[in-house]
A and B are shown apart, each in its own frame.
Chain A
Amino acid sequence: MNIAQPFMPNGTVYGTLLNFQGEMDALAPQMSQVPYKAAPHAPVLYIKTANTWSANGAGIALPVTTHQVEVGATIGILIGPPDLAEYAQPATILIAGYILMNDLSIPHASFFRPPVKYKCVDGFLGIASQLASTALAGDPAQFKLEVHINGELRQRIDFAHLIRSANQLLADVSEFMTLQPGDILTLGCDVGRPLAQAGDRIDIRAPGLPAFGTLSNTVLPPTSDDAPVGVTA
């Protein structure tokens, strides 16, 4: 493998909602109400389809239906091969590394239905070009991120405030589906996600952890040949 080749996933990318204490606190007053009726029990996941993947440095065009995007800075866990050396049920999941991600969404207030039209827009997942090894990344509970927009610090994220730790999340997800080698599971996005508009440059980095590098993407205006969404929201 050419070490200079930028990283791109070859498996499915799963996103995680409500894995930060701040997100849970913000929604707590609504959780017992319609339509949710209860706090979530199992991990709340979604899929960032391959059409959303944008390389580090790429421009990301807004669809014509929105003039701003929500920036969901997060870290993805890259799944490695299972450890079959010890007889275990289920087999232990090995982590191949961690990667910075910019999980963009069209802002939306309801989490009742799957967020496909808000999260699966072309280009809506920035992916860093380098993988941080488990050795260089260290303990996920120590991870911190900073989000800069046009050079201005807009959000600090501290992964000490996760609802489920990286290992607990892997265990609870693999209870109902097998994460395959090459799949990515994100640790989630905290509240206070900044908004970005056309022309904005978004930089995400992990201070004190140079192994993660910097993930930079620029938001672009809609391309002229974009068709409007068939049914209005």
Chain B
Amino acid sequence: MKHARVAYAGAIHQAIAHRDHLQLADGRVVAQEAVVWLPPLLPTPRPRTILALGLNYADHAKELAFKAPEEPLVFIKGESTLTGHRAFTRRPRDVQFMHYECELTVVIGKTAKGVKRDDAYDFVAGYTVANDYAIRDYLENWYRPNLRVKNRDTCTPIGPWLVDAADVLDPMNLALQTTVNGHVTQSGNTRDMIFDLPFLIEYFSSFMTLQPGDLILTGTPDGVVDCQPGDVVITSIEGIGALINTIEAWPVAAPTASQKGQA
């Protein structure tokens, strides 16, 4: 089943895919265009841990002129960087290189500590798509990739669906694709990950306890390009979903003197 979380008619709802519509938990069926899409995640009692992999596809590591890492290169994101399907992501007006990253995202389903790789899939609730934008102008070599590059407001769209793990037969063999304004700019397959999902769950759970709702963004393959305001970026993963995002210039526009006077 494909789950969503949406705002509709003044309230927040859990929903499921219903042909090309959405069915809300109260039974109403609504058009997908009639709702505001939120990250497809239930609230957690404590802030969720969001682990994200860098350089986890050999071709992308080569593209960025790094040799493949010997152990996972992981960074952490705060929840405030997440945004939903069909949202806008801000590009500061003075930057030169902002790129998408299409990533298979794992949602943890039960408390995981000291998990062995053969048992790893038992701890997965489901999968979704994340677009882990980076603004390379802000890269610095201190705790790289630094939070100014990777933890910005609106810069991690996620969704549209949380797909139940039982519905994904082989998460390590899924085609990924990104289009910018309809042109294919990135394509790859999750089979080319350097550290696969069972490895990652064993590795992280060896020193940190993962809780239901925690996320692992598993990295992106080759083919990242600069995105400009107005560009429509669609990050898709076979069987998981197509996540639509639009770039907007930030600040949207400087307020004029007369607008300031009215405020």
Contact = CB atoms under 8 A, between A and B. Distances in A.
Contact of A51 (B73, B151, B211): B211
A111 B143 contact: yes
Interface string B129-161: 000000000101111111110011100000000
B208 A122 contact: yes
Nearest to B155: A177
B163 to A, nearest CB: 25
A230 interface: yes
A138 interface: no
Interface stretch (A8-16, A95-103, A144-152, A200-208): A8-16
Nearest to B254: A89
Contacts of B145: 114
B60 to A, nearest CB: 17
A17 B206 CA distance: 25
A38 B111 CA distance: 41
B73 to A, nearest CB: 6
Interface stretch (B19-27, B78-86, B175-183): B78-86
Tell me the dominant secondary structure on chain B's binding face.
loop
Contacts of B206: 227-230
Interface residues of A, number: 50
Contact of B260 (A63, A87, A113): A87
A176 B151 CA distance: 8
Interface stretch (A39-47, A67-75, A155-163, A209-217): A39-47
B83 to A, nearest CB: 12
B53 to A, nearest CB: 11
B131 to A, nearest CB: 17
Contacts of A14: 78, 147
B49 interface: yes
B121 interface: no
A121 interface: yes
Nearest to A230: B203
Q: Which of A35, A46, A115 has the most CB of B within 10 A?
A: A46
Given A120-B207, A231-B70, A12 B142 contact: no
Q: Which of B51, B77, B209 has the most CB of A within 10 A?
A: B209
Nearest to A44: B142
Given A121-B207, A122-B208, A177-B151, A37 B141 contact: yes
A121 B208 contact: yes
A110 to B, nearest CB: 10
Interface in A11-37: 11-12, 14, 17-18, 35-37
A45 B146 contact: yes
Given A10-B46, A50-B47, A229-B203, A120 B208 contact: yes
What 3 A-B pairs are tightest by C-beta distance, nearest first?
A: A50-B46, A227-B114, A230-B203
Interface of B: 46-49, 51, 70-81, 113-114, 116, 138, 140-148, 151-153, 199, 202-203, 205-211, 251, 255, 260, 263
